[in-house]
Amino acid sequence: MAANCLMKTAQLVRQPADQNHRSQAVQKLHKACLNYPDWKKSHRPNWKPWLYPEIQPDYPKINLEECRPPNEGLDVQQPLVDETAVSEEIGKEDDSD
């Protein structure tokens, strides 16, 4: 019960802050969009790869067979962490309310 109240309180505090950040982001994006035509005039105005894909540089293709996870092939062993006790403790805390 107490955890539920805390979660609702956190949502009430967080929502106005999130809304403020979203409105600021929209304002910045709007300002950037308004300034884009002037910016584009001085920064390669004819470069439009979305219209003319042939002007894209020919980068080498990535060979997917050469790709591997970051730790594969390394001798470093990651320690195994037993989290079963943690999940059991969390479950016990929720039941005690």
- Checking if the pLDDT of 96 tops 60, the result is no
- Checking if the pLDDT of 29 tops 90, the result is yes
pTM, 2 dp: 0.37
Rounded CA separation 53/60 (Å): 16
**By 3-state DSSP, what share of the chain in percent is helix, strand and coil, each rounded to 5?**
60, 0, 40
The answer to whether residues 96 and 1 touch, using CB atoms and an 8 Å cutoff, is no
33-84 tens-digit pLDDT: 999 999 999 999 988 888 887 777 777 888 888 887 766 655 566 677 777 7
- Residue-level pLDDT at 9: 61
Alpha-carbon Rg for the chain, nearest whole angstrom, is 26
Number of residues that make up the chain: 97
